[in-house]
Amino acid sequence: MSEDDDLKTLDEQENSTSDLECLDGISSDELLKQELEAKIKRQEELIREDEEFKKNFKIETKILIRMLAFILCSFIYITIYVISISRGAQDIQTKVINSFVKIIMYICFGISFLSIIALIIYRISDKIKKAFNSLSFKIKNYIFNGLDWFLLLPICTIIASICFCFLFTIGSVDGSSMYPTYSDEDTVFISYLDNLDRGDPIVAYITVENNIVEDLPNYKSIYPEYYIKRIIGVPGDKITWINGVLVVNDEVFDESSYLAESQIEYFKNHPVNNFNGTFKYKKNGVIETTTVVPDDYYFVMGDNRVNSRDSRMIGLIPKKNIIGVVKFKLSSKANMVGIV
């Protein structure tokens, strides 16, 4: 082989080596690019998984909180109801809150019971836990939204119950014993917070244990009962009511602000149901008499003195049995708990 041939072969080898190095360089860049894209894609997947986990964890926590809220609402409502019974206002508490509200609380009780069962099973069963965790976010969100919206109803009921138990209530007058101030089926607003004073119209809870009702016909089927009357005598008072003239502590008391003039004139000419000043009341189940209103008792009468069953017949009313003070009339023709 000649020297020229050797040089040509050497040049071809150098060119081939250079081409291989170029190809190797291109392959490395592409590999790096692919690796970088794979890493970016993996990071994006991790971010999505992390966001999905956080989103699921957040919605699961919200569902748990709503379930616990239903349970709490149920316990609060039951507590309020028990307190209303101890206050002697259970009929007002249950009847003012109409059947629609009762249905809401029954559903709340049902959801609370199911929530307790679900939480117990979730804690002890891995299958249930996995099944719940495998639910899509969309389904969990539907569950949360349903609980969230319905939870507003028992919360509103709880607020109303707190008001009716501790602040005020609404009742309907049944009868004409407070005419002309209040007529049959008038709806009245009753405040629990007002102090008791002479002249206040009040609602009292009349019971066999605390009032003298045994002489009344069918008293066991009538009482306990709610009465709407007016406070005439407070602790320490001496009271007489003769021929339409009210005397309090030896002074004539003007009742023209709440009695009709025609009533006053009628009483003067037609003495009925006079009261001579001897009070009767029950203390520890025993009937006692006195001429001065004792502590924690009140003498009450209806404005319609001719047609009113009040302290002249059933004795003094214990303070603990006075539900509240009637503040004003709301409307007529109501369908709530009746107050005689």
Q: Are strands 317-318 and 297-301 parallel, antiparallel or unpaired?
A: antiparallel
The vertex-330 CA angle with 325 and 331, nearest 5°, equals 135
On the 0-12 / 13-18 / 19+ scale of CB atoms within 10 A, 126 is exposed
Which 8-state DSSP code applies to residue 165?
I
Which 8-state DSSP code applies to residue 275?
B
Looking up tokens 């004795």, which residue turns up? 315
Within 13 Å of residue 62, how many CA atoms lie on the same side as its CB? 18
SS3 339: strand
Rounded to whole angstroms, how far apart are CA atoms 187 and 157?
A: 21
Is residue 147 within 8 Å of residue 67, measured between CB atoms? yes
Residues listed for the chain: 340
Rounded to whole angstroms, how far apart are CA atoms 63 and 58?
A: 9
Rounded to whole angstroms, how far apart are CA atoms 142 and 233?
A: 61
- Write out the two tokens for 262: 């025609």
Give me the residues paired with residue 251 across strands: 248
Which amino acids are annotated catalytic? Answer: 177, 229
φ, ψ (nearest 5 deg) of residue 98: -75, 180
Is residue 190 within 8 Å of residue 312, measured between CB atoms? no
Which 8-state DSSP code applies to residue 230?
E
- Write out the two tokens for 190: 């009753």
Q: Minimal CA–CA distance to 208: which of 288, 278, 287?
A: 287
Rounded to whole angstroms, how far apart are CA atoms 255 and 303?
A: 9
